[in-house]
Amino acid sequence: MKLKLILAATAALAFAAPAMADGKALYLEKTCVACHGKDAKKPLTPEYPKLAGQNAKYAERQMLDIKSGARANGNSAAMKGVMHLVSEAEIKELAKYLSEIK
Q: Is residue 4 part of a domain?
A: no
Q: Is residue 6 part of a domain?
A: no
Measuring CA to CA, which residue among 89, 85, 54, 52 is closest to residue 67?
A: 85
Q: How many domains does the chain have?
A: 1
Which CATH number is 42's domain given?
A: 1.10.760.10
Q: Is residue 78 part of a domain?
A: yes
Q: Is residue 53 part of a domain?
A: yes
Digit-coded pLDDT (tens) for 30-57: 999 999 999 999 999 999 999 999 999 9
Cα distances (Å, whole numbers) of residue 83 to 11, 20, 31, 39: 32, 17, 10, 20
Q: Is residue 10 part of a domain?
A: no
Digit-coded pLDDT (tens) for 50-79: 999 999 999 999 999 999 999 998 888 889
Q: Is the pTM of this model over 0.85?
A: no
Whole domain around residue 55: which residue ranges?
20-100
